[in-house]
Amino acid sequence: MVKRLAILLFFLFLSVELVAQADTVVYYGGSRGQVDIGLKSAGVKLGVVIPTGGNYDPNTKIAGFVDLGYLVPNLKPELFFEYWKVKRDEYGWSSADDDVRFSCIGGGASLKYLFDFHPRLKPFVGAGLGFNHYKTDYPEDWPQADETETPLELHIDFGTNLVLGEKFYAILSGKYNLSDIDNIDMMLGLGYNIVR
């Protein structure tokens, strides 16, 4: 846990340091040196989630997000919500009756630093805080009852945005989540610029 927290703090420090050194930045809908907060874009992402523990099989993840503009040059807050579920074959039988099923509904906020790499290509790194509502469904006749819990998560974001036109952009992103069930996701998405 200490190693994970150290990695997260490193990326947060890197983001703050890059923001402090940014000189030539164009604000989204605002002028240089001005905070520009508000609903700017929204979109959806679809991808794969891979739990790093518990021997769960990878599965599909779906997410939505809302871009809230810029706090300082190149640093943007984003709200997200997501859903995913995975399973593990507890006894190695081919029957689905022995599967332990694990699902997650979550949400939270991220701060992302966008690099001015190219006018159409915007790589980013970020970190944030969220919550996950986990539900574990055990097989019938299992000695343990189904469980639910809602822990906090810390996460590290990385990826790139690719401008497709005036209103749309594609997203290729990854996220490492530090929570009760640590997981990595890789997602592809589409964003729509509400304000340009």
For the segment 152-186, what is each residue's pLDDT rounded down to a tens digit? 889 999 999 999 988 999 999 999 988 777 888 99
- Among 157, 163, 76, which Cα is nearest to 113's? 76
Range of the domain at 15: 2-193
Q: CATH number for the domain including 85? A: 2.40.160.20
* Confidence (pLDDT) at 73: 81
Q: Report the C-alpha gap between 152 and 160 in whole angstroms.
A: 26
Cα–Cα–Cα angle for 18, 21, 23, rounded to 5 degrees:
120
Q: pLDDT-derived band of residue 7, with 50, 70 and 90 as boundaries?
A: low
* Confidence (pLDDT) at 22: 42
For residue 169, give the amino acid letter. Answer: Y
Tell me the average pLDDT across 90-113: 78
- How many domains would you assign to the chain? 1
pTM across the whole model:
0.74
- Among 42, 70, 47, which Cα is nearest to 60's? 47
